Structure 1
Amino acid sequence: MANGIIKRGIANIKYVLLSQFSYYIVTFFTSFILPGVLGVVPNGYYQIYFFYTTSFVGLMHIGFNDGVFLKYGGYDFEKLPQELFRTFMRMYICMNGIETVAVLLIVLMEPNANKQFAFTFAAFDIVAINLSTLLNYINQATGRIKLYSFVVVAEKVQIVAGLAVMLLLHHIDFHAVIVLDFAAKVVVLFVNVYCCRDLFWGERVPWRAAWGPYWDNIRVGVKLMIANVMAMLVMGAGKLMMERLGSVANFSEYSFATNVTNIAMAFISAVGLVLYPVLCRLEKKTLPYYFQRINRLLCAFIFTMMLLYYPLVPIIRVFLPKYDAVLAYLPLLFPIVIMQSKMQLLINNYYESLREEKAMMWANISAVGLFVAIALPLYLWHPSVMVIVWVTLGVFFWRCYASELFLKHKLGIHSMRNMVEEWGMGALFILANSLLGWGPGLAVYAAAVAVYLLVYRKELVPAMRTMLKSAFDR
């Protein structure tokens, strides 16, 4: 039974890969083409819009999305209480509409006209993003990964097509890019609503009867939402400090650097979407076994993906020389890929499947508190991007491995060998690229990756064969 569940989960990965291919195309445009075309400061205004829409707009569901995801993970779509959900949707849209109006009133107080433009469209995104995210969560929780992937691809195709037209017409600025992004989200929302129309039209329960279950979803999900918010703030707090206390140019450069590292994490994040419904269907006694197996595969993939750093360096130097300042701290950001990927794919999913949202929340709150306590006074004393980078690296280390130790204790796993290996690979990457330079650093790190893959080949090769067979047989 467990093998069948795992194989069905693996089969869904091919649809996730399709959505991630479209993500990579958009990321290429927004991370490499736009910064060069727009310039440092105009790109900074677009990055402000992007930062707030991806970080803070998602808070406006106040935990409802996460509650639905937790309570209905593992359901079939047809077995959802659809009459109840139809009332939920009306209540949810009203709540987000009220929040949009409130945020727009706050935005009017922003003195910078360009920032006000970015904030205004971020406010408009509240309904579009949150309702579409809720429907995506439902599709993920009920195993409709193919539909989820289609919706993601549809949004990315619109953005790529729009950016390509702007570039061909030689008429592109950050205002047009923001409007394009918003329009793509609205179109995708309508597509998503149509594909989930059974949750909107038909018989529904009265508002009074739905009120209790609606707030119960918020009660269940608010801990997970706070945990996710705190996780976002571990990286986002540094950006927020620079956006509020630093220059738009520094914010633009730092955002560019973090976007580059996100390329390596994108695939991991998407596969994580498939994992939670799979874990919900497994017997609890098998969870420790799969924790160690998934961790080994994940580390092999992450260590290999970090080799992306080496072609990115000459690309930045040749095609984006205005951003070459990021090369001073880019080697410090890439090891964050190890820890963030583990959090998104493995640790967060195990927190949720074990229903340890409270522990997850406190782990992330402690990480943000530690970041602010250290980074804020240091940044005020010495306003440098390096301060943010070093503190971010340390806090990510604390959050990831404190969480892993907690979960291993809950699962009865006593081995720490994998953690020592991960620390060693991360330290080797930083030291090799900081002390030896690009060429020797590539040789040393690539050799270390090859040794790691060779040592664990007997474990990795059969697992990869199983994954590929399950993916292509369905």
Structure 2
Amino acid sequence: MVLEQRRLVAASAKKSGPVGGARLKKFRTLFLNISYTVSSNLLTLIVSTVVTLFLPKLLGIEAYGYFQLYVFYVSYVGFLHFGWCDGIYLKYGGERYDTLDKATFSGQFYALLISQTLITLAFVLAIVLFGGSSGEKELVLLASALNIVILNMRTFSTFVLQATNRMKDFSVITILDRLVYVILVIGLLAFRVARFEYYIAADMIGKLVSLIVSFVKIKSIAFPKKTGIAWDKTEAIDNVRVGINLMFANIASTLILGIVRFGIQTQWSVAVFGKISLTLSISNLLMVFVNAVSLAIFPLLKRVKESEYARIYPIVRSIIMPLVLAALLCYYPLNIILVKWLPNYADSLRYMAIVFPMVVFESKVSLLTNTYLKALRKERKIFQVNLMSALLSLISTLVLVFGLKSLFLSMLSIVLLLAFRSSYAEMILARYIDITIYQDMAVEFLLVGAFIVTSWHLSMAVGAIIYSILLAGYFIWKRHDFVQIRQLIKS
């Protein structure tokens, strides 16, 4: 029996020939890359969980609010390389690291380092001179400013690694960052240190260590010996020109949530801001794995013919969306556990019923629409979608936060805005690759709407039962797609 199985395997391999071997190699590469990124992001998830569960309990509401303010500000420092790194990522996505012109890349590396150092010094000087009277807020601003050079230089390194499909090295950098951070945080928690400044310092130390390691991973660029440094002004301008659209798209994307959060911070206290930020952080925990997979898909997609996109997209979509919709079931046990663990945050954790489905729309954008639009070099379309969503965010914030002063409607607007962005982007992509997805989108909207209504108005048990029944109906409706996916994967 064993000999017969071996004979069949050998015959199959012989039939597949070089094409089958190439496909197997591609699948193995994709699987390994996803494994690397998921492993690194699993640690990120663990760190996020530790911080989310223990920090608010130890720091207190106001101190935790300042820590969240630091996290909020740091999320914007990546835009100060003005699309330089994004341009490199888009231009060289799918290339081999060995074939890169190291001298030119070294020139880009050091030019970026000088520019980011000068920008950091300018921000530090401005904060010292015009920082205001609040010592805590000034400290948060200074720490955020120091992240400019640290994060943006690390972004250069990691984007080069991602673009050239060196996902293992990229994962090492991510793992090291979060590993150092979590060790320091656990130490601080063990000694019951209740000052938010120390946790900010721990985060920065983790980033600094990973920055140094990232330079080692691209040492032929960061520390050139044989190739030297070639400063190419045209290359720098072209990188910024190519990347600026994606950078603007990312800014607009961040502003969708950022405007609402800024409005909440302005209209309500730091304590309320901290509570709401906690709810959003918990709702985004599942995005760690989604982002891990999307990082691995982009360089591989760049090596696939565009004519294949229309065939691949529905398959990937029919795998991703059922999994993400099923992941909403995590809300019910998670909410029960968190309310018992963090009773002081019980009032804000109730809003999880509204914002938890953001993972559905964010997953679609991260894994599907944005990855495909980047591969098609449609960064301007991404910017168009995000800009419209950001403008709608501004209008809704002015009306709901400053006009009606309704925290409930402000939180609901977050999901509606992300749903709009996800749907608009997918409709644009559908036109480019000539597919039809409207029926699936409508069913997904109904499921998310049912989840929000039942979770907000009904008890945990009843809400879970109703959503589970609806989800089972959805899986039955999609059963033919699952059969087709299985056949295509086997072939």
Considering the TM-score relative to the shorter chain, is it more than 0.5? yes
Aligned residue in 2 for 1:101: 121
Which of 350, 365, 371 does residue 328 from structure 1 map onto? Answer: 350
Cα distance, 1:455 vs structure 2 = 4.1
**Compared with structure 1, are the counterparts of its residues 327 and 96 closer, same or farther at alpha carbon in structure 2 (3 Å cutoff)?**
same
Aligned residue in 1 for 2:32: 11
Aligned residue in 1 for 2:47: 26
Which of 424, 427, 431 does residue 453 from structure 2 map onto? Answer: 431
Cα RMSD (Å) of the superposition? Answer: 1.9
Please give the per-residue CA displacement for 1:82-107, whole angstroms capped at 9, x wherever unaligned: 11011111100001011101211232
Aligned residue in 2 for 1:190: 212
Matches within 5 A, 1:141-156: 141-156=163-178
The answer to whether the 8 A contact 2:109-2:156 is kept is no
Aligned residue in 1 for 2:6: none
Identity %: 27
Cα distance, 1:118 vs structure 2 = 1.0
| Distance in 2 (alpha carbons) for counterparts of 1:349 and 1:81 | 26
Cα distance, 1:457 vs structure 2 = 4.6
The answer to whether the 8 A contact 1:6-1:278 is kept is no
Moved more, 379-388 or 194-203: 379-388
Task: With a CA cutoff of 8 Å and minimum separation of 6, indicate the structure with the bigger relative contact order.
Answer: 1
Cα distance, 1:461 vs structure 2 = 7.4
**Compared with structure 1, are the counterparts of its residues 466 and 285 closer, same or farther at alpha carbon in structure 2 (3 Å cutoff)?**
closer
The answer to whether the 8 A contact 1:45-1:115 is kept is yes
Equivalent position SS for 1:59:
helix
Which of 77, 80, 85 does residue 97 from structure 2 map onto? Answer: 77
| Distance in 2 (alpha carbons) for counterparts of 1:459 and 1:151 | 38
Aligned residue in 1 for 2:417: 395
The answer to whether the 8 A contact 1:375-1:387 is kept is no
Moved more, 379-388 or 146-155: 379-388
List gaps (5 residues or longer) in structure 1.
470-474
Matches within 5 A, 1:375-414: 375-414=397-436
Aligned residue in 2 for 1:306: 328
The answer to whether the 8 A contact 1:65-1:134 is kept is yes
Equivalent position SS for 2:357:
helix
Aligned residue in 1 for 2:266: 244
Q: What letter is aligned with 2:97?
A: F
| Distance in 2 (alpha carbons) for counterparts of 1:136 and 1:59 | 15
Aligned residue in 1 for 2:12: none
Q: What letter is aligned with 1:416?
A: Y
| Distance in 2 (alpha carbons) for counterparts of 1:48 and 1:228 | 20
Aligned residue in 2 for 1:266: 288
Which of 462, 481, 490 does residue 440 from structure 1 map onto? Answer: 462
Please give the per-residue CA displacement for 1:177-229, whole angstroms capped at 9, x wherever unaligned: 0001101111110011011101122233443xx11101110000000010011
| Distance in 2 (alpha carbons) for counterparts of 1:310 and 1:190 | 41
Q: What letter is aligned with 2:427?
A: L
1:204 and 2:228 are equivalent in the alignment: yes
Q: Which has the larger radius of gyration?
A: 2
The answer to whether the 8 A contact 1:254-1:385 is kept is no
Cα distance, 1:383 vs structure 2 = 2.6
Aligned residue in 1 for 2:3: none
Cα distance, 1:425 vs structure 2 = 1.2
The answer to whether the 8 A contact 2:257-2:393 is kept is no
Please give the per-residue CA displacement for 1:8-41, whole angstroms capped at 9, x wherever unaligned: 2233111112112101111111111101111110
Cα distance, 1:463 vs structure 2 = 5.5
When the two structures are aligned, how many residues end up with a matched partner?
465
The answer to whether the 8 A contact 1:332-1:389 is kept is yes
Which of 56, 61, 72 does residue 40 from structure 1 map onto? Answer: 61
Equivalent position SS for 2:435:
coil
| Distance in 1 (alpha carbons) for counterparts of 2:86 and 2:465 | 44
| Distance in 1 (alpha carbons) for counterparts of 2:161 and 2:479 | 35
| Distance in 2 (alpha carbons) for counterparts of 1:465 and 1:127 | 49
Q: What letter is aligned with 1:24?
A: L
| Distance in 1 (alpha carbons) for counterparts of 2:151 and 2:233 | 23
| Distance in 1 (alpha carbons) for counterparts of 2:126 and 2:484 | 56
Aligned residue in 2 for 1:342: 364
Matches within 5 A, 1:105-116: 105-108=125-128, 109-111=130-132, 112-116=134-138
| Distance in 2 (alpha carbons) for counterparts of 1:370 and 1:221 | 24
| Distance in 2 (alpha carbons) for counterparts of 1:289 and 1:81 | 35
Please give the per-residue CA displacement for 1:424-451, whole angstroms capped at 9, x wherever unaligned: 1111111221232211001111222233
The answer to whether the 8 A contact 2:264-2:401 is kept is no
Cα distance, 1:306 vs structure 2 = 1.2
**Compared with structure 1, are the counterparts of its residues 25 and 390 closer, same or farther at alpha carbon in structure 2 (3 Å cutoff)?**
same
Cα distance, 1:333 vs structure 2 = 0.4
Equivalent position SS for 1:281:
coil
| Distance in 2 (alpha carbons) for counterparts of 1:466 and 1:314 | 40
Please give the per-residue CA displacement for 1:390-446, whole angstroms capped at 9, x wherever unaligned: 222222121111111111011111342211121111111112212322110011112
The answer to whether the 8 A contact 2:97-2:164 is kept is yes
Q: What letter is aligned with 1:352?
A: K
Cα distance, 1:327 vs structure 2 = 3.2
Which of 65, 74, 77 does residue 53 from structure 1 map onto? Answer: 74
List gaps (5 residues or longer) in structure 2.
1-18
